[in-house]
Amino acid sequence: MHYREIKSMNLVKPLILIIFSYLHLNVNAQENTVGVLSITEEALKGYTFFSPFSSTNAYMVDHCGRLVNQWSRGTRPGLSAYFLENGLMLRSYKVDPVGPFTSASNAGGVELVDWDNNTVWHYEFNTEISLSHHDVKYMPNGNILVLIWDLVFRDEIVELGRDPDEIAPENFTWSERIIEIEPIGDNEINIVWEWRIKEHYIQDFDETKLNFGVVSEHPELFDINLPDINSNNSNASRDWNHFNAIDYNEELDQILISTRNSDEIWIIDHSTTTEEAATHTGGNSGKGGDLIYRWGNPSSYQRATIDDQKLFGQHGINWIQEGLVDAGKILIFNNGNGRPGSDISTVEIINPPTDYDGLYVTPETESFGPLVSDWTYGLQGFEREYSPFLSNAQRLSNGNTLINYGSLGYIREITPSGDICWEYEIPLNGNSPANQGNNVNQNASFRVYKFAPEYPGFDNIDVIPMNTIESNSNITDCLLTSVESEIGSTIEFKYDQLENQLQIVNPAQEMLKVSLINSLGQIELLMLQSDQQISLNFQNKDAAIYWIFAQKPNGENKIFKFIKAF
């Protein structure tokens, strides 16, 4: 018998240039229009999680776009979803609202779901006068922060100091509340902390009403007369603040909020009691529930003009986690709505100034710093994209940055130098997978996150990449970027050219996902095997170049190229 045996990836690597040359000669017409659009060796070889706005499913794909898990929930997200370190998915979902909440950002429900799509816990925040919306945040203690809209009616609004002529015809506002809940059992909660915006207003309209004062002297408070009801901000006549993102910093015991309708980010003190959070004293900051930091639009507290505005309809915000580049700083997706000049979105990092005691510096008369972002991506011609809504960014474990242009359904990973090393177009029309070459719509996604294989959420989970979501994808170039991650010499390939048979020797009987890829980058065979010897017959296959990929659940893989001559 005539066997060709490859026992080490070192023998395969010299073939890569030949393989790439062959592919470029043969698949230029097969370039992907959805799924993985490009990849280089600098990309994180991890798993990307997303829950599209118009889909009832959530998805996890590997760096080649192969599906590793799908959660079919039956409801659309409302709007966020997260894959947690404990292996659960935390997801807000849409319900039919009981009250008069008419936003595309409605939620109403929150759930925890395991890898196998079983509901572990769920709860609905949906009454005649309140509804959860947009975002949630899982806390290290297992509790969850939830954004809530509460109806506040005309009489109370006027007493709080709002101009009566600037109240919506419906005679109510959707007032923001943040609650911290403890999940109990499978569908109960205990509210352990809460904060309300209506307890932290300032106004200079009517000295006979509550909260009267000089707005510029109280940057720790929000001007109740913003925005005006004719503003082009989202539902601005009722939704004055439009909180669209929330994050929590355990070390600081602080909450970070994106306030879209005033183009700002805020930080509040979580170390307060609920009672202190309703006042202006208490907690580590000594300021109760007042704002201890704000940035993005100092005209909202009358310490600058609109020309000094930095944020424009921002969405995703988060503290960069410990252990990552720029840890402790704040990462912002600045959508660019109303930005002077061109419509472009930027990703920015800021580092709020603090004093010797670690408290945020509050200038006497000037705006909160910094004057400029530490880092900005998106201004240069080749960097430019525009996502008017949704969107976020994430600092990755390898130092790269993942950018989700949410309204476009387009994801980009960039290196520290700004080079694009991975691109992915969500290949869905709602719940329906796309075909290569076809246009996609309804693939927008509120948030997208990418995880390294060693992320704790994958512990005790068999992560087995299967086919791509979309059909007719060419993923050969992508798979070839993974050759450095080899299983090792324990796995051997033997190809009998006369019999057209391939043997995969697997002495440790490890679970392998075996894929056969043709010269067009298409998967022709997909199987899971743990046999000591796996035999494949190719007598009925066309004469061509093929690649066999054997992959373990942890992402380690080995590649073998062979030519079927007849």
Residue 327 counted as domain residue: no
C-beta separation of 441 from 425 below 8 A: no
Alpha-helix runs per DSSP H in 407-564: 476-480
Q: Tell me which residue of 515, 510, 504 sits closest to 548, measured CA to CA.
A: 515
Report the number of distinct structural domains present in the chain: 1
Residue 174 counted as domain residue: no
pLDDT at 96: 98
- Mean pLDDT within 231-238: 83
Express each pLDDT in 44-98 by its tens digit.
999 999 999 999 999 999 999 999 999 999 999 999 999 999 999 999 999 999 9
- Mean pLDDT within 169-185: 98
pLDDT for residue 21 is more than 80: no
What band does 353 get if pLDDT is binned at 50, 70 and 90?
A: very high
Q: Tell me which residue of 311, 264, 312, 270 sits closest to 287, measured CA to CA.
A: 270
pLDDT at 480: 65
Q: What percentage of residues in the chain have a pLDDT greater than 90?
A: 73
pLDDT for residue 25 is more than 60: no
Q: Tell me which residue of 344, 352, 300 sits closest to 326, measured CA to CA.
A: 352
For β-strands 201-202 and 222-223, DSSP reports them as parallel
The residue behind tokens 């062959």 is 22
pLDDT at 388: 96
The dihedral formed by the CA atoms of 252, 253, 258 and 261, expressed in degrees to the nearest 10: -120
pLDDT for residue 232 is more than 60: yes
For β-strands 445-451 and 512-517, DSSP reports them as unpaired
pLDDT for residue 10 is more than 70: no
What band does 538 get if pLDDT is binned at 50, 70 and 90?
A: confident
What band does 124 get if pLDDT is binned at 50, 70 and 90?
A: very high
- Mean pLDDT within 407-418: 98
What band does 22 get if pLDDT is binned at 50, 70 and 90?
A: very low
Say which DSSP state 166 is in: G
C-beta separation of 170 from 100 below 8 A: yes
For β-strands 119-124 and 130-138, DSSP reports them as unpaired
Say which DSSP state 442 is in: S
CA 389 from centroid of its chain's CA atoms: 13
Express each pLDDT in 270-314 by its tens digit.
999 999 999 999 999 999 999 999 999 999 999 999 999 999 999
Residue 310 counted as domain residue: no
C-beta separation of 42 from 421 below 8 A: yes
Return phi, psi of residue 277, to 5°.
-65, -20
What band does 2 get if pLDDT is binned at 50, 70 and 90?
A: very low
Q: Of 140 and 555, which is predicted with more confidence?
A: 140
Furthest CA-CA distance within the chain: 99
pLDDT for residue 28 is more than 70: no
Residue 305, helix vs strand vs coil = coil
pLDDT at 24: 38
Express each pLDDT in 462-519 by its tens digit.
888 888 999 888 887 776 665 444 555 578 888 887 888 888 888 888 888 888 888 7
Task: Write down the mean pLDDT value for the chain.
Answer: 90
- Boundaries of domain holding 546: 3-28+477-564
Q: How many CB atoms lie within 10 A of CB 291?
A: 25
pLDDT at 481: 63
C-beta separation of 360 from 352 below 8 A: yes
Q: Of 161 and 230, which is predicted with more confidence?
A: 161
What band does 16 get if pLDDT is binned at 50, 70 and 90?
A: very low
C-beta separation of 557 from 34 below 8 A: no
C-beta separation of 377 from 400 below 8 A: no
Express each pLDDT in 179-224 by its tens digit.
999 999 999 999 999 999 999 999 999 999 999 999 999 999 999 9
C-beta separation of 271 from 255 below 8 A: no
What would the two tokens of residue 322 be?
């410990």
Residue 524 counted as domain residue: yes
* C-alpha–C-alpha distance, residues 431 and 481, integer Å: 29
pLDDT for residue 525 is more than 80: no
Report DSSP letters for 417-430, one per residue.
T--EEEEEE--EET
pLDDT for residue 17 is more than 60: no
Strands (E), 125-253: 130-138, 144-153, 172-184, 188-196, 201-202, 222-223, 243-249
pLDDT for residue 134 is more than 80: yes
Residue 558 counted as domain residue: yes
pLDDT at 113: 98
What CATH number has the domain bearing residue 488? Answer: 2.60.40.3080
- Sort residue 418 into left (φ over 0), alpha (ψ -120 to 50) or beta: left
* C-alpha–C-alpha distance, residues 224 and 215, integer Å: 10
What would the two tokens of residue 56 be?
């009832």
The residue behind tokens 């690649």 is 547
Prediction pTM value? 0.87
What band does 6 get if pLDDT is binned at 50, 70 and 90?
A: very low
**Span of 144-158, 179-193, 221-235 with lowest mean pLDDT:** 221-235
HSE of 285, CA atoms in CB hemisphere, 13 A: 29
For β-strands 432-433 and 35-39, DSSP reports them as unpaired
Say which DSSP state 128 is in: S
Residue 521 counted as domain residue: yes
Residue 116 counted as domain residue: no
What would the two tokens of residue 155 be?
């009489």
pLDDT at 15: 35
pLDDT at 550: 85
Residue 24 counted as domain residue: yes
What band does 120 get if pLDDT is binned at 50, 70 and 90?
A: very high
